[in-house]
Amino acid sequence: METIRVNIPGHEYDIRIERGILKKIGEECDFNRRVLVVTDKGVPREYAETVAAQAKQAVIAVIDGGEEGKTLDAFARLQQVMLDNSFSRKDCVAAVGGGVVGDVAAFAASCYMRGIQFYNIPTTVLSQVDSSIGGKTGVNFGGVKNIVGSFYQPSKVIIDPEVLSSLDRRQQVNGFAEAIKMALTFDAKLFEDIEAMDASDDMMPYIVRAIDIKRRVVEEDEKEAGLRKVLNFGHTLGHGIEVSCGGRLLHGECVAAGMTAMCAPEVRDRLGAVLRKFGLPESADFDLEHAAAAVSHDKKGNGRVISSIYVPEVGSFEIRDMSPEEARERLELILRK
Ligand SMILES: NC(=O)c1ccc[n+]([C@@H]2O[C@H](COP(=O)([O-])OP(=O)(O)OC[C@H]3O[C@@H](n4cnc5c(N)ncnc54)[C@H](O)[C@@H]3O)[C@@H](O)[C@H]2O)c1
């Protein structure tokens, strides 16, 4: 059992990590009340059922999976289910799924009766290592990702490594790209250890160390006024690739390719070796013009200057302003020849 305490003033909470913890979640969370268990169609149903069975009164809500399911409609449906089942301010929401379920369910919890308690039970590598920690919630709207949402910290995050066994290898590695990102920007020793591991090794010890990096970052900068922006390393170009690759690549795969063009040559060589080991892409097939336009209109951009993260040395970062022309040149470096 591992416990990581997140000390955000006024919103402290524990991240509990243990094999099989799902089966005793009733001991971990206050489930002696109504619990809305939110999951999606792609998450094995048994996980939500295991959680629901331990609550005094549970309702399971299944949203559509994927980015298309991350909508105000899904948010509204969750409000309706809570209303129909007479949820009060003392009841709670539990997300059982990946980042999509977590983001929508947390947003719903943050708004119902102006905020009821929320537990996150992430079931993908990406959500365990990244999205379940730090309190960003939201849905996509008007064609823009995560544009409507709130900051709302969970009461607890419950991580059961066993749930990753049903996740396909591509999804596992996709999430691990975010752990590689955290090591590359904040922790040279973790990056060295990832370099030394075999691709088939248990990812969990590395995931736990990456979670601790995320904890430190969100403790220092809860609302992304500064340091938290470093977690966007690889995401600026990655976003351009994601919207212009015709849906062929997953988010973490785009971030992986996006990172390669944002570091010093020696760092790029070492990163490339790690990405190849895990089967993550160093380059990608995408529409350059479309990607360049998306990057310069990115909401993270500020007028004609694009704020981006550059890694001069493993375990460090620089915040750099990039012109749209430079962004295009860097995207060209990633374009598969
Ligand atoms: N809130 C944040 O800070 C934050 C940070 C990073 C990403 N995100 C968001 O996270 C989302 C991506 O999350 P994701 O990568 O987890 O994707 P996801 O939630 O879409 O899950 C990926 C797929 O795996 C399935 N799945 C989930 N758990 C499973 C399991 N244990 N076994 C088998 N299948 C399973 C899902 O049904 C889905 O089809 C994006 O919407 C992104 O914006 C949020």
* Mean pLDDT within 23-38: 97
Domains held by the chain: number: 2
Tens digits of residue pLDDT in 70-129:
999 999 999 999 999 999 999 999 999 999 999 999 999 999 999 999 999 999 999 999
Pairing of strands 144-148, 139-141: antiparallel
The Å distance, Cα 179 to ligand 1 centre, comes to 15
Q: Whose CA is nearest to atom 5 of ligand 1?
A: 131
Q: Are residues 293 and 227 in the same domain?
A: yes
Residue 136, classified by CB atoms within 10 Å of its CB into exposed (0-12), middle (13-18) or buried (19+), is: buried
pLDDT of res. 297: 76
The Å distance, Cα 264 to ligand 1 centre, comes to 30
In the predicted structure, residue 141 carries a pLDDT above the cut 80? yes
Domain boundary among 166, 200, 219: 166
Identify which has the larger pLDDT, 259 or 247.
259
The Å distance, Cα 124 to ligand 1 centre, comes to 6
Q: How far apart are the C-alpha atoms of 55 and 87, rounded to whole Å?
A: 14
Q: Are residues 193 and 281 in the same domain?
A: yes
Residue with tokens 């490339």: 272
Radius of gyration, alpha carbons of the chain:
19
CATH code, domain with 271: 1.20.1090.10
For residues 111 and 82, is the Cβ–Cβ distance under 8 A?
no
Q: Are residues 224 and 152 in the same domain?
A: no
pLDDT of res. 239: 93
Residue with tokens 């922790």: 187
CB-defined site of ligand 1, < 6 Å:
40, 42-44, 65-67, 70, 97-101, 103, 123-124, 126-127, 130-131, 134, 136, 145-146, 163, 166-167, 171, 175, 251
Q: How far apart are the C-alpha atoms of 275 and 171, rounded to whole Å?
A: 14
pLDDT of res. 144: 86
pLDDT of res. 97: 98
Q: Are residues 135 and 177 in the same domain?
A: no
pLDDT of res. 287: 95
Q: Are residues 183 and 153 in the same domain?
A: no
Ligand 1 atom nearest 67 alpha carbon: 41
Q: Which domain holds residue 253?
A: 173-334
CA angle 128, 133, 139 (to 5 degrees): 95
pLDDT of res. 172: 98
Q: Are residues 160 and 271 in the same domain?
A: no
For residues 334 and 258, is the Cβ–Cβ distance under 8 A?
yes
Q: Are residues 154 and 187 in the same domain?
A: no
Q: Are residues 129 and 215 in the same domain?
A: no
Q: Are residues 278 and 249 in the same domain?
A: yes
* Mean pLDDT within 281-298: 91
Residue type, 336: R
In the predicted structure, residue 193 carries a pLDDT above the cut 60? yes
Please name which of 259, 223, 222 lies closest in space to residue 239, comparing C-alpha atoms. Answer: 259
pLDDT of res. 298: 55
* Mean pLDDT within 314-335: 95
Q: Are residues 145 and 212 in the same domain?
A: no
Domain boundary among 132, 166, 200: 166
Q: Are residues 145 and 276 in the same domain?
A: no
pLDDT of res. 145: 87
Tell me the three-class secondary structure of the chain, residue by residue: CEEEEECCCCCCEEEEECCCHHHHHHHHCCCCCEEEEEEECCCCHHHHHHHHCCCCEEEEEEECCCHHHCCHHHHHHHHHHHHHCCCCCCCEEEEEECHHHHHHHHHHHHHHHHCCEEEEEECCHHHHHHHCCCCECCEEECCEEEEECCECCCCEEEECHHHHHHCCHHHHHHHHHHHHHHHHHHCHHHHHHHHHCCCCCCCHHHHHHHHHHHHHHHHHCCCCCCHHHHHHCCHHHHHHHHHHCCCCCCHHHHHHHHHHCCECHHHHHHHHHHHHHHCCCCCECCCHHHHHHHHHCCCCEECCEEEEEEECCCCCCEEEEECHHHHHHHHHHHECC
Q: At 337, is the pLDDT very low, low, confident or very high (cuts 50, 70, 90)?
A: confident
pLDDT of res. 86: 98
Q: Are residues 144 and 260 in the same domain?
A: no
Q: At 303, is the pLDDT very low, low, confident or very high (cuts 50, 70, 90)?
A: low
Domain boundary among 107, 131, 166: 166
Mean pLDDT of the chain, nearest integer:
95
Residue type, 317: F
The Å distance, Cα 122 to ligand 1 centre, comes to 8
CATH code, domain with 85: 3.40.50.1970
Q: How much is the pTM?
A: 0.96
